[in-house]
Amino acid sequence: MNIACANNKRRLSYVVGILKNWENESLLTVEEIDSYHENQKSAPKHRQSTESIPTGRAIPSGFELDLTAGEE
């Protein structure tokens, strides 16, 4: 509950998600959880790049969009 409140989350589903994450990580004691979170804090965080990352596939150079294609 302290973690949820610290993140300004006031839904039970958020707390349930935290508990499921701990279960998935096989964290069974308070000591294991504390150790896990300490290791997460010391791990280097990835910086998000400011440049845009393209999503999906590139559009071929000769492509023309025909919205009426296939209609009779």
Q: What is the pLDDT of residues 3-58, one digit of tens each?
A: 888 889 889 999 999 999 999 999 999 999 989 888 887 766 666 666 666 677 77
pTM tops 0.75, yes or no: no
Q: Is residue 37 a contact partner of residue 30, using CB atoms and an 8 Å limit?
A: no
pLDDT at position 65 is: 78
Q: What is the pLDDT of residues 28-39, one digit of tens each?
A: 999 999 898 888
Torsion 50-4-22-24 (CA) sign: negative
Q: Which residue has the tokens 């150079």?
A: 61
Contacts 24+ apart (CB under 8 A), 49-57: none
